[in-house]
Amino acid sequence: MTTIQLSDETTICRLDDDRKAVEPCSIVIFGASGDLTARKLIPALYHLHKDKQLPPSYRVIGFARREKTSESWRAELREALNQFSRTKPVDETVWAEFAANVHYCMGDLTDPTAYAKLEALLTGFNSPLLRKNLLFYLATSPSQFGQVVEHLHNANLLHKHNHLADGWQRIVVEKPFGHDLTSAHLLNNELTRFASEQQVFRIDHYLGKETVQNILMFRFSNSIFERLWNRDMVDHIQITVSEKHSVGGRGGYYEEAGALRDMVQNHMLQVLALVGMEPPVSLEAEAIRNEKVKLLQSIRPLSPADVAKQVVRGQYFAGVLDGKPQTGYRQETKVKPDSNVETYAALKLFVDNWRWSGVPFYLRTGKCLPLGASEVRVQFRPTPRVLFAAACAGKLDPNALTLRLQPNEGISIRFNGKVPGTQVGVRPVRMHFSYDTEFGAYTPEAYERLLLEAVAGDATLFIRRDEVETAWQIVDSIRNGWEGKSLTNREFYAAGTWGPIAAEELLAQSGHVWRDPQPVK
């Protein structure tokens, strides 16, 4: 760690100087012809190269069954970069440097000889480290994870327990990590047959977002807020991930997933863990992940009776969004006309530990809502009903702190102030910190940070096996409570509104109301 003095009062503390060094390596992308590779992975690697974040010597190998040459694949990627690069136009000199490190290996994932072909390509590189230090990115269906890992092991490209003589090998896998606890457990067993848990990097792009990472920095580096972050001062916490777009062409996928599996099991429970966890003993990956798991394990189990009282699902029907007609979910492509799949979910959870005992955590997410935004609102306990609180007849707004994760990333504090004038009037006012205004710097794409951390071997932003399985336990208990029950009229909502009336009733039980995200100008 180093410090940089900017002025008498301003110092930058560079924590990332302690990051593990990135060594020469080869990055093999399975499923290289897919959308994820063109939209996210290659643009991220290009920008890491441009910013000189990758090791001085590296190779990127695309592995897929479509018949292509390295030259034709590079040409495809160059066209895709025009569309998906975060900076335009693409720097031709930088692209030429990057493309020289890009290769293509044609092969079927199920064919052992294809892996021998891959091994021969790696062996042909001029540096032994490019052959021994290997990052395998499985941008494939989860059903193929097991066979890819087994073939890599059989081809002598993956060793379960890394030794210095063997270099290092790591596997990056995309969600979904199963569709319930049983399938997640089986999937994890498949991955760890031929790789240790320390070699498996489960990627959730949400954890790569700058503002999600900032939750820990905000909580544990600011004493004025750290001391408020407990049951004594916090009345309740709301976590909202609202999506403006509809299911659209993903109806087939959504019929299998629903909002609970698609958003709650991963993104939302990860944010909850970061918001509620205890301070780790260090910034090491396992110390942070240990505390996240402890928080998830502290969430009070939900019986079917609890689910009926503490969880709401919803589904959008035809409405108006941004002044335009919006089709209902049951009229979307590949959706059953009588589907009970939830496009909205709201939960009331309790964390049974010393810090959060009795404090409700409200989570909600949904499609076709009025605004696309992700934020955490920490609402503090109201002041005693004397003086101003009594005079305002219940209209005195509680203090609140909002962490806006996207878009318009920032932090807001809401407090009460006197309205200017001869009469005594009070009104909620807001102080707002904006990342763009304060730092005036770009926010890197999530995949840039996550790929760099995987190359460096830092698992902090990746999800451990016990995290995945604990999250599925929570979600499975909710799905069990819904089993065999149809949606009621109070669980439908019009597209372009903030959700079903049942979600409002969920908070009203405790005298609370949802605080909807607002557009930030």
Q: Strands across the sheet with 58-64, in order?
A: 102-106, 58-64, 25-30, 134-138, 169-174, 200-203
Q: Roughly what angle, to the nearest 10 degrees, separates helices 70-84 and 92-99?
A: 140
Specify whether the CB–CB gap between 433 and 411 falls below 8 A: yes
Sign (positive/negative) of CA torsion 416, 417, 421, 423?
A: positive
153 is catalytic: no
Beta pairing partners, 350: 360
Specify whether the CB–CB gap between 373 and 517 falls below 8 A: yes
Residue with the two structure tokens 């959504």: 254
Q: Please report, in angstroms and rounded to a whole number, the separation of the first and last CA atoms in the chain.
A: 36
Question: Rounded to 10 degrees, what is the CA torsion of 33, 35, 37, 41?
Answer: 180
Distances from the Cα of 430 to the Cα of 402, 406, 412, 420, angstroms: 10, 18, 6, 16
Distance, in Å, from the CA atom of 441 to the CA atom of 135, rounded to the nearest integer, reads 29
Specify whether the CB–CB gap between 43 and 94 falls below 8 A: no
Residue in 151, 236, 267, 512 annotated catalytic: 267
Distance, in Å, from the CA atom of 259 to the CA atom of 503, rounded to the nearest integer, reads 14
**131 Cβ neighbours under 8 A, 6+ residues apart:** 26, 122, 123, 125, 167
Distances from the Cα of 214 to the Cα of 184, 210, 483, 518, angstroms: 29, 6, 38, 21
Beta pairing partners, 108: none
- In the chain, % helix, strand, coil (3-state, to 5) comes to 40, 25, 35
Element (DSSP H or E) covering residue 494 = strand 492-494
**492 Cβ neighbours under 8 A, 6+ residues apart:** 314, 315, 316, 317, 500
Distance, in Å, from the CA atom of 513 to the CA atom of 224, rounded to the nearest integer, reads 26
Alpha helices in 397-521 (DSSP H): 435-439, 446-456, 465-482, 501-508
Query: Nearest-5° angle of CA 251, CA 447, CA 441?
Result: 120
Q: What's the chain's length in residues? A: 521
**475: its two tokens:** 């979600």
- Residue 454: φ, ψ to 5°: -65, -40
Element (DSSP H or E) covering residue 433 = strand 425-434
Residues recognised as catalytic: 267
